[in-house]
Amino acid sequence: MAFSPDFRTMSRPAGTGVGAGVIDQGLRAYMLRVYNWMASGLVLTGLVAYLVANTSLRAAFFAAVMTPNGVAVRPTGLGMLAMIAPLGFVLIMSLGVNRLSRQTVQMLFWAFCAVMGASLSSILLTFTGVSVVRVFFVTAGTFSAMSIWGYVTKTDLTRFGSFLIMGLFGLVIAGLVNMFLHSSMVYMLYSIVGVFIFIGLTAFDTQRIKMTYQQVAYYDGPDGAAKRAVYDALALYLNFINLFQFLLQFMGVRSNQDN
């Protein structure tokens, strides 16, 4: 998921020639900043999810209800708000990419990750802790491999970008349709396609970040580059979270409680 325009066709300003060694050093530092933001966001999300699922906060977000199959956990009004709110944060950040200050973007990123934690806490109520941890490490390994490949590959992945974005929109539509169909076959295909789309987006976004670094440094300056790093971290964060959720549908073991 890209939040920045493609600057690769823009010409370099006169007098801004920089040695390859300087560029490589700056790129490594920038990529490290992006990954640090992403990893910190994941840690915050995990901590909030654990606290909501395992403390008295759980009652504020989820309620036990009786169903024909026994007791089930359903989101309260606050829980529903927590599930919808992340979309609002993403829209605010993406629409304000050229207007929001670096400090505001950073604050919104932390708030987004915290709300995502509350939203994803239902996973800890649905699946066993062991399976959640296992799928997390599988996701981390898959994400790392694809991100590294996206960074080092000589293949231009921009030609696949439009297909990945179209596939992403297709996923949203298929998910909405299956809310009414309740088809297990459609859901299985939906999950399989979702895994491949976010694997592809991980490589695509990593290469995009690498290829646009020089333009970010030249045109945005240090403060702008710091802000852009948060946006790039958000893109990778979303890829990781979505890949994790899709893999969980295949590899997760549901807890005894019917959710």
What pTM does this model have?
A: 0.87
Enter the DSSP assignment of 78.
H
Residue 176 CB-density burial (10 A; 0-12 exposed, 13-18 middle, 19+ buried): exposed
Instruction: Report the distance separating Cα 97 and Cα 230, nearest Å.
Output: 11
pLDDT score of 206: 97
Residue 121 CB-density burial (10 A; 0-12 exposed, 13-18 middle, 19+ buried): buried
17 φ/ψ angles, rounded to the nearest 5 degrees: -60, 135
pLDDT score of 72: 74
Paired strand residues for 32: none
pLDDT score of 177: 87
CA 185 to each of CA 117, 188, 242: distance values in angstroms, whole numbers, following the listed order = 29, 5, 20
DSSP assignment of 143-190: HHHHHHHHHH--S-THHHHHHHHHHHHHHHHHHHHHHHH--HHHHHHH
pLDDT score of 257: 53
- Could you report the average pLDDT of every consecutive run of 10 residues in the chain (259 residues)? 39 43 80 97 98 94 77 86 94 93 97 97 93 96 98 93 91 87 85 95 96 83 91 97 95 72
pLDDT score of 70: 64
| DSSP H or E run through 65 | strand 62-67
Instruction: Report the distance separating Cα 94 and Cα 5, nearest Å.
Output: 11
pLDDT score of 4: 43
Instruction: Report the distance separating Cα 221 and Cα 240, nearest Å.
Output: 28
The answer to whether 95 and 89 have CB atoms below 8 angstroms apart is: no
